Amino acid sequence: MGVHAFIVPIRDLNTLQTLPGIEIHDCGHKVGLNGVDNGALRFRSVRIPRDNLLNRFGDVSQDGKYTSSLPTINKRFAAMLGELVGGRVGLAYASVGFLKISVTIAVRYSLLRQQFGPPEQPEVSILDYQSQQHKLMPMLASSYAFHFATQYLVQKYSEMKKMHDEQLVADVHALSAGLKAYVTSYTAKSLSTCREACGGHGYAAVNRFGSLRNDHDIFQTFEGDNTVLMQQVAADLLRQYKDKFQGGTLSVTWNYLRESMNTYLSQPNPIIARWESADHLRDPKFQLDAFRSLILSLSSLQSLSKLCTIVLMQEVELL
Ligand SMILES: Cc1cc2nc3c(=O)[nH]c(=O)nc-3n(C[C@H](O)[C@H](O)[C@H](O)COP(=O)(O)OP(=O)(O)OC[C@H]3O[C@@H](n4cnc5c(N)ncnc54)[C@H](O)[C@@H]3O)c2cc1C
């Protein structure tokens, strides 16, 4: 009948010894997160009463008859896995916290650390070097973008929990899988970049990059390996693309192409045109066009963080 969740007692409540047929193994010392007590369980011929079934998606009557509101094993499997969405939302949100901490440490250090300046002049802050800015500013901008993106995800998740709307469940599933995979991969790479941006001091345990990196690394794997999650996002995008052309009349295709071409035809490419006046750069219409242009050309979340970086760097230059 598919995968189901049960409550299985594992210890005798009086002696705290493991019950017959149950084995518990500690996972041992890990690379990080040793405050989390992970273990493995093995069950051999363990029998439990049918009342121990968590029966939201399927139930067994006293005379052994199975019933479910979901018609197929696949649908029940999807419903079970759907319960993991909450964990992914939490991980994406927590990963942004790691990013904020490491970027803050690296930017503050880069402001204080001084290196070679012009001849006969005082040394300059390493944050004045373009190479240092190119490392840190995109990460700073991405921290903002991910902060708002994960806040949006949390809001959609709580709506989903209240409404149980099927379309919303599918959207939140794809969004949480994509954001969890994208944000945690980005943060994992950024932690190393931030460490390098702080030079030798970045390697001192007191400056935290080592423990942050070790604790965060597994975020790319648990609650769903990132590669597998991205495959789920790809499957959902292909389904949406297919739905867009469902019905197959010429007008559906025509509308789709017209929508895509609108941005190309209505104004010069906002990134390439390079109008640099303050009024132009601060104009919300320009910023919206720039978002559209990047999303059309890159079609990925990467465009969001790239655009934020461009806007942020332009703001810094304007200031
Ligand atoms: C510290 C820690 C805490 C955990 N806590 C929990 C917990 O509380 N509850 C719980 O249920 N689980 C927990 N887990 C398990 C965790 O969810 C799994 O480790 C994780 O989902 C990855 O599964 P796996 O280890 O079997 O890796 P695998 O699935 O074996 O993945 C190994 C590699 O194979 C690749 N791969 C696998 N399948 C595919 C595919 N279909 N297509 C392409 N590539 C693929 C992956 O990309 C990866 O690179 C925890 C794990 C750790 C390390």
Question: Distance from the CA of 235 to the center of ligand 1, in angstroms?
Answer: 19
Q: Do 107 and 235 fall into the same domain?
A: yes
For residue 314, the enclosing domain spans: 249-319
Closest Cα to atom 19 of ligand 1: 222
To 10 degrees, the CA torsion angle through 297, 301, 305, 308?
70
Q: Do 96 and 236 fall into the same domain?
A: yes
Atom of ligand 1 nearest to the CA of 226: 47
Rounded average pLDDT over 48-56: 94
pLDDT band at 244 (very low <50, low <70, confident <90, very high): confident
With 60 as the cut, is the pLDDT of residue 266 above it?
no
Rounded average pLDDT over 264-285: 70
Rounded average pLDDT over 50-75: 93
Q: Do 66 and 93 fall into the same domain?
A: no
Please say which residue of 70, 103, 128 terminates a domain: 70
CATH number assigned to the domain comprising residue 61: 2.40.110.10
Rounded average pLDDT over 39-50: 95
Residue 34, in any domain of the structure: yes
Residue 210, in any domain of the structure: yes
Residue type, 162: K
Question: Distance from the CA of 81 to the center of ligand 1, in angstroms?
Answer: 14
The domain total for the chain is: 3
Atom of ligand 1 nearest to the CA of 231: 42
Residues in contact with ligand 1 by the CB-under-6-Å rule are 30, 33, 38, 218, 221-222, 224-225, 227-228
Q: Do 132 and 212 fall into the same domain?
A: yes
Please say which residue of 36, 70, 104 terminates a domain: 70
Nearest partner of 240 among 158, 163, 299, judged by Cα? 299
Atom of ligand 1 nearest to the CA of 36: 1
Q: What is the pLDDT of residue 202?
A: 97
Question: Distance from the CA of 228 to the center of ligand 1, in angstroms?
Answer: 9
Q: Do 173 and 93 fall into the same domain?
A: yes
Q: What is the pLDDT of residue 67?
A: 96
The percent of residues above 70 in pLDDT, for the chain, comes to 86
CB atoms within 10 A of CB 152: 12
Known catalytic residues are 223
Measured distance CA(105)–CA(101) in Å, rounded: 6
Q: Do 61 and 99 fall into the same domain?
A: no
pLDDT tens digits, residue range 12-23? 999 999 999 999
Q: Do 103 and 212 fall into the same domain?
A: yes
What is the full DSSP assignment across 9-24?
--B-TTT-PBPTTEEE
Residue 77, in any domain of the structure: no
Closest Cα to atom 43 of ligand 1: 228
With 70 as the cut, is the pLDDT of residue 309 above it?
no
Q: Do 142 and 239 fall into the same domain?
A: yes
pLDDT tens digits, residue range 294-308? 776 665 555 555 556
Rounded average pLDDT over 282-311: 68
Q: What is the pLDDT of residue 265?
A: 55
Q: What is the pLDDT of residue 273?
A: 63
Question: Distance from the CA of 229 to the center of ligand 1, in angstroms?
Answer: 11
Please say which residue of 195, 217, 244 terminates a domain: 244
Q: Do 164 and 237 fall into the same domain?
A: yes
Q: Do 240 and 157 fall into the same domain?
A: yes
With 80 as the cut, is the pLDDT of residue 311 above it?
no
Q: Do 149 and 51 fall into the same domain?
A: no
Nearest partner of 186 among 147, 220, 135, 223, judged by Cα? 220
